[in-house]
Amino acid sequence: MRARKGASFQNEWQKAGRMSVLSCIQQYNPGLLILAATVCLTGIFIAVGLIYRAIQRDGKQRSGWLFLAATTGGSSVWCTHFIAMMAYKAPASVTFAPVATAVSLIVVIAGLALGFRLVITLPRAPELGGVVIGLSIVAMHYLGVAAYRIDGLVLWQYDLIAMSVIVGILFSAASAGVLMRFPRTWVSQAVALGLLALGVLTLHFIGMTALTVTPLRGLAAPDMHSLQIMAFAVAGVAFIVIGTGVATQLIDTDTAREAIEKLKQLALNDGLTGLPNRAAFSDYLGHELHRAELDGFNVAVIGINLDRFKQINDLRGHAAGDQALKIIGYRLGHLCRDGELVARIGGDEFSAIKRFTRQNELMEFLSRIETELFDPIKIKDFDAKIGASIGVAVYPQDGEETQQLINNADLAMYRAKKDVTRTVCFYEREMDEAARARSALGNDLRKAIEQNELELHYQVQHHVSSGKISGYEVLLRWRHPVRGLVPPMEFVPIAEETGLIVEIGEWVLRTACKEAASWPSDLRIAVNLSPVQFTRIGLERLVHQVLIETGLKASRLELEITESTIIEDRARALHVLRQIRALGVTIAIDDFGTGYSSLETLRSFPFDKIKLDRSFMTNAEINPQSRAIIRAVLALGKSLNISILAEGVETREQLNLLAIEGCDEAQGYYLGYPKPIMEIGTINRTPPAIADQGFAASDLAAIA
C-alpha cells in the first residue's frame, strides 16, 4: 500500500477529505460483509469441533486433527479478512500483492497449528496457546493490509493498532481458556466459538479504523465488479476447506459409530455362531419379565445342552466341532419369531426365551427347537446327529427373578440329561430341590477346603490271629458349620463330580502320612484313592513326594482302590499302580466282591491285599451263603498269596467266624469306631479302645 506520513501532507489530506474506513461503514458492500462474517463463524465452529477431536486423540492422530483444525480455522480467518477488504467500496483502484497475501495465509495456518497444540498440551495454562493464536491472527491481518494496494495516501493511528492487537490476543486467550477449563457442553462450545470469532472481527475492524485513506485526484475508479467476483471466489475456496473439515468429522463420526456398533455386536453376540451371548440373553430376559409383569403373560426360560457334541470334538477335531456349532446356531437363530430368542451361553450350552399365553404355544416352540437339534447335520464327509437335553422353567410359577429362572431351567435340563427316556424336562420343585441342595453342598465343600472344615478319623485294623493292631485306615470327615458331620457318602461323590477330590485327596494323603510317621514302625496307614485321582497326571510322583516330605517308609503306606478305578481306564490305571507299587507301597483292592469283574481285576494286577466288602459280614454268623462266600474269598487269597482283610466286623460272633476260617485281618465297629487322632490317644500296638472290649490273643486261642 502506498502511504505517506508526516505533517507536510496534512493540508493536502484536509483538502481532499480524509476517510476513516469504520466511519464510512456505509461504503462497504453489506452482502460481502455478511459473507465474511458467515465464513468466519462457520470456519471457527468447525475448527473448534476439530480441536475437540484432537483432544480425544494422541500421537499421529492428534497431529492430523490439529493440522485439519489449523487449516480450516486459518483459511477461514484469512478468507474473512480478504472478503471484508474486498467489501470496501474503495474510491481508487485496488490490487493485492500476491507474495504478501500468500505469506499471510501460511503465517496464520502455522500460527494456529502451534497455538492449538499449546492449548491441548498445556491444560493448566491453555491461555498461552490462546496468545499464540491471537498473535498469528494479528500477523495475518497486518500482512494482509500490507498486501492491499490502493492509489491513495495512507495514515496509521498507532494507538488503535495497539488496541487491535491487545483485543485480538485477549479474546483468543479467553476462548482457549473456556475451551479447556470447562466441560464440553453446547454452552461452553458456543462461548469459545463466540470469543474467537469476536476476536477476529474486532481485530479486523479496529485495525481498519486505525487506517485513514486519502484518494488521489484524477485516478480511475476501482472495478468493484471484479472485486466482488474475487470475494465470492475466495469465499468459495473457504467453504471448500470448511467442507473438507466437515466431511472429515462426519467420516470420523460414522467410523466411530460403526466401531461402537461393531464393539456392541462383539459384546452382545457370540463370535462363532452369531447368536446373542449370555449378556444379551440376560438383558432380553429382564426386559421380557418386566413386560410380563405389566401385561400378565408367561415367559419360559429354556436351557439347552448338546448331547453328543464332545464326541464330534474328540473324534473329528475342534474344527468339526466349531462347524457343528455354526450350523446349529444358524438353525436356532432362524427359527425364532416375535417373542422368541435363542442365545449361545458358552461351549455346547444354549438358552432360549419364549413369551406365551397358552401352553400349546410353548410346546410348539419346543417342538421346533427339537426338530432343529435332532435333524442330522452334515460336516464335510460325514453326517452327525447331535441331539440335546432341554430344561424349562416358566415365569411366574417357577420363579420371578432372572437368575432364579435360569437356575431352575438348568436344574430341569440336568434332570433331562440323566433321563434317557426324555428330551425335555420341566422344572419340578420337589425333584429339583434335591439337585439344588446338592449344588449348594458342592459350593460349601469348596469353602470347606479353604476354611479347614475337613478332618481325618482313624479306624483301627487288627491281626485276627494275634489280636495285635496292624494299622489304621484313614477316613475323611467334614464338620459342616451348620449341618455338623456330613456323611462321606453325601459329599465324596460331589467332590468327585466337581474335581475337588483331587485337592482333597492330596491333603488326606499328606496329612495321614505325616501323622503315621510318628507311629511305631510296624503300623501301617491305609488311604483310599478315588478313581478321579487316577485321571490326573502325576499321581505316582505325588505319592513319592509325600513319602519323602513326611519321612514315612513306603512299606507302611497302603493305598486302597476300588474295581471301578481299573475298569474306567484300565491301561492307564494299571500303569500308575505299577509305578506306585515299585516305590514299595502296598496296594489293596477295596470293596471286593461288589463289582462286576472282581476276578478279572485280581488277574490284571498283583494286589497285596483284598478287603472283603462289609456287606458279606452282615448276618454271616447265621447265613450259610455269606459264610460260603467268605470261605471262598479266603481260599482265593491263600491260593494267590494275597492277604485278606474283612470289613464290617460288628459282633464277637463275626470275629470268631473269621478266626475259624483263617482270615488275616479285621476291621469294624466291634474292634473300634473311627475317631480323630486326638481321641485315640497315643497310638501303640494295643490301644485302650480294643483292650476294653476284651479282644486279645487268648480269646482266639480259646476259640481254636
Residues with a catalytic annotation lie at 647
How far is residue 664's CA from residue 468's CA, in Å, rounded to a whole number? 11
Distance CA(192)–CA(527), nearest Å, equals: 80
C-alpha dist (Å) from residue 118 to 113, 140, 375: 9, 19, 67
CB 390 within 8 A of CB 413: yes
The phi, psi pair for 682, rounded to 5°, reads -70, 120
Query: How far apart are the C-alpha atoms of 188 and 180, rounded to whole Å?
Result: 9
| Cα separation, 655 vs 40, whole angstroms | 110
* Alpha-carbon dihedral sign for residues 396, 401, 406, 410: negative
Amino acid making up residue 290: H
Cell numbers representing residue 625 in the block: 451263603
Torsion of CA 416, 419, 424, 425, to 10 degrees: -60
Residues forming a β-bridge with 478: 454, 486
Across 617-682, where does the E strand assignment appear?
A: 643-646, 665-666, 675-676
The three state secondary structure string of 627-646 is HHHHHHHHHHHHHHCCEEEE
Question: Starting at the edge strand that comes first in sequence, how are the strands of the sheet with 349-356 ordered?
Answer: 340-346, 349-356, 298-306, 388-395, 424-426
- Kindly state the cell numbers that stand for 323: 462347524
Chain-centre distance of CA 73, in angstroms?
44
> 30-55 and 224-268 are packed helices; what angle lies between their axes, rounded to 10 degrees?
30
The C-alpha cell that represents 652 in the structure block = 464277637
Quote the CA–CA distance of 74 and 66 in Å, as a whole number.
11
Question: How far is the C-alpha of 342 from the C-alpha of 324, rounded, in Å?
Answer: 16
What span, in angstroms and rounded, lies between the C-alpha atoms of 71 and 105? Answer: 10
Give which of 628, 599, 595 is closest to 613, Cα–Cα.
595
Contact present, 391 and 369 (Cβ < 8 Å): no
Residue with cell 464277637: 652
Question: What is the SS3 string spanning 302-332?
Answer: EEEEECCHHHHHHHHCHHHHHHHHHHHHHHH
Q: Is 601 helix (H, G, I), strand (E, B) or coil?
A: helix
For residue 222, give the DSSP letter: P
Q: How far apart are CA 342 and CA 354, in angstroms?
A: 9
